[in-house]
């Protein structure tokens, strides 16, 4: 009996001494995913209020990073230099294309041809802007059929729809439904067949395949819900991003965390399998945008003071190269 008590005490001591930075989920069961704490390594302000999305595009063979906010039709571009230094920060007033009212842009992405894609949450509109930012070349309406599983929730909350955007090489897009329920939705032209997500579908430096017509509908082809246990952990999904290895990540505003998805979203499945969750430090108060630069994750926060730090470079995520 004494030996069993001693063994239990030693096990308790070992667990208490285990490193906090252990890989999320290490030593835990499938239903016990735990967040690992990560810190920031650099921070800088952005000349835009209420940042709501981050993205990137290729211009003349160079990667340019993008930020948008939901309060105005201003696009911010910048570069990331060695040492996580943010440089060449520029603002682009797109009110001549979209008007001066609040944009309601909740996500931005770009492609290898230099085009910019902005997602307006309240109007369910995905607009494609020419590389020189002088005109809108395409407009797509997100059309959720009335009998679709997400239709009622999508209609009920105009502020909990498209919160993230990933462009795929097959002409489909992934968007995040923020909450109640939180989901990743694959959208494509009518008649398209769902392919889900796997790293080979990541757009990378390629041009996104666009139809000749300038307008059209994007309909849901498949969707995946957060599991209940992960909804309790994260609360919502505020952005999506793919790293250089084609792995899909979610950003949570309410949970103030970055989550890595298992390598695929299979069409035959209905739930999102998370591999790891990384908790953000308190200074990253309201994370709304996520992108990757040279293997580093960058998160942007929703704030009203353009003088305050809004773009944060994160230290390497545990297991980032596994």
DSSP for 15-39, written as a single string: HHTS-TTSPTTTTS-TT---EEE--
Does residue 6 sit within a domain? no
Whole-number Å distance between alpha carbons of 107 and 232 = 24
Alpha carbon distance 177, 237 (integer Å): 7
Structure tokens at 120: 């307006």
Asked if residue 128 belongs to a domain, the reply is yes
Mapped onto helix, strand or coil, the DSSP state of residue 198 is coil
Predicted structure pTM score: 0.89
Closest CA to 208 of 168, 245, 176: 168
Contact by Cβ (8 Å): 250, 258:
yes
Predicted local confidence at residue 319, as pLDDT? 52
pLDDT tens string for the chain (322 positions)? 444 443 444 333 333 333 333 333 344 445 567 889 999 999 999 999 999 999 999 999 999 999 999 999 999 999 999 999 999 999 999 999 999 999 999 999 999 999 999 999 989 999 999 999 999 999 999 999 999 999 999 998 877 788 899 999 999 999 999 999 999 999 999 999 999 999 999 999 999 999 887 899 999 999 999 999 999 999 999 999 999 999 999 999 999 999 999 999 999 999 999 999 999 999 999 999 999 998 899 999 999 999 999 999 999 986 544 3
> Could you tell me the sign of the dihedral formed by the alpha carbons of 99, 211, 76, 302, in that order?
positive
What confidence score (pLDDT) does residue 317 get? 86
Instruction: For residues 141 and 173, give the distance between their C-alpha atoms in angstroms, rounded to a whole number.
Output: 13
Contact (Cβ atoms closer than 8 angstroms) between residue 57 and residue 114: yes
Q: 255: number of CA atoms within 13 Å, CB side?
A: 27
248 HSE (CA, 13 A, CB side) = 30
Residue 176 counted as domain residue: yes
* Cβ proximity of 33 and 275 under 8 Å: no
3-state class of 244 per DSSP?
A: coil
Task: Indicate whether 169 belongs to any domain.
Answer: yes
In a domain, 200, yes or no: yes
| φ and ψ of 222, to 5 deg | -165, 160
Report the alpha-carbon distance of residue 183 to residue 176 in Å, rounded.
6
What are the tokens at 296?
Answer: 């580093």
Asked if residues 162 and 121 have their Cβ atoms less than 8 Å apart, the reply is: yes
Domain encompassing residue 186: 22-314
Establish if 16 belongs to a structural domain.
no
How many domains are there within the chain?
A: 1
Residue 321 covered by a domain = no
Q: Is 2 contained in some domain? A: no
Q: What is the CATH number of the domain that holds 274?
A: 2.120.10
- Alpha-carbon distances, residue 281 vs 184, 234, 265, 302 (angstroms): 25, 15, 29, 15
Phi-psi region of 36 (alpha: psi -120 to 50; beta: other; left: phi over 0): beta
What 8-state DSSP symbol labels residue 201? G
Contact 86, 311 (CB under 8 A): yes
Where are the alpha helices (H) located in the chain, listed in sequence order?
2-16, 95-98, 151-156, 228-234
């Amino acid at each position: 009996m004494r030996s069993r008590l001693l063994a239990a005490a030693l096990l308790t001591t070992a667990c208490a001494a285990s490193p906090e930075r252990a890989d999320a989920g290490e030593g835990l069961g499938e239903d016990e995913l735990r967040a690992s704490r990560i810190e920031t390594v650099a921070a800088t302000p952005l000349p835009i209020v209420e940042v709501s999305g981050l993205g990137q595009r290729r211009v003349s063979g160079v990667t340019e990073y993008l930020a948008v906010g939901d309060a105005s039709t201003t696009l911010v571009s910048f570069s990331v230099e060695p040492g996580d230094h943010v440089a060449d920060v520029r603002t682009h007033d797109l009110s001549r294309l979209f008007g001066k009212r609040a944009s309601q842009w909740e996500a931005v992405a770009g492609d290898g041809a230099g085009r910019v894609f902005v997602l307006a949450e309240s109007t369910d509109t995905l607009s494609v802007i020419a590389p020189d930012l002088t005109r809108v070349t395409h407009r797509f309406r997100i059309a959720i059929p009335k009998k679709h599983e997400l239709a009622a929730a999508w209609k009920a909350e105009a502020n909990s729809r498209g919160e993230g955007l990933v462009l795929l090489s097959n002409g489909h897009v992934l968007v995040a439904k923020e909450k109640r329920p939180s989901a990743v939705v694959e959208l494509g032209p009518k008649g398209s067949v769902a392919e889900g997500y796997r790293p080979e579908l990541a757009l990378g430096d390629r041009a996104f395949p666009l139809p000749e017509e300038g307008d059209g509908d994007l309909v849901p082809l498949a969707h995946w819900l957060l599991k209940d246990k992960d909804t309790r952990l994260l609360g919502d999904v505020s952005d999506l991003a793919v790293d250089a290895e084609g792995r899909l990540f979610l950003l949570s505003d309410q949970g103030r965390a970055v989550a890595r998805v298992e390598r695929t979203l299979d069409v035959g499945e209905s739930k999102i399998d998370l591999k790891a969750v990384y908790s953000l430090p308190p200074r990253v108060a309201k994370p709304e945008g996520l992108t990757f630069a040279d293997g580093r994750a960058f998160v942007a926060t929703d704030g009203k003071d353009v003088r305050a730090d809004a773009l944060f470079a994160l230290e390497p995520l545990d297991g980032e190269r596994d």
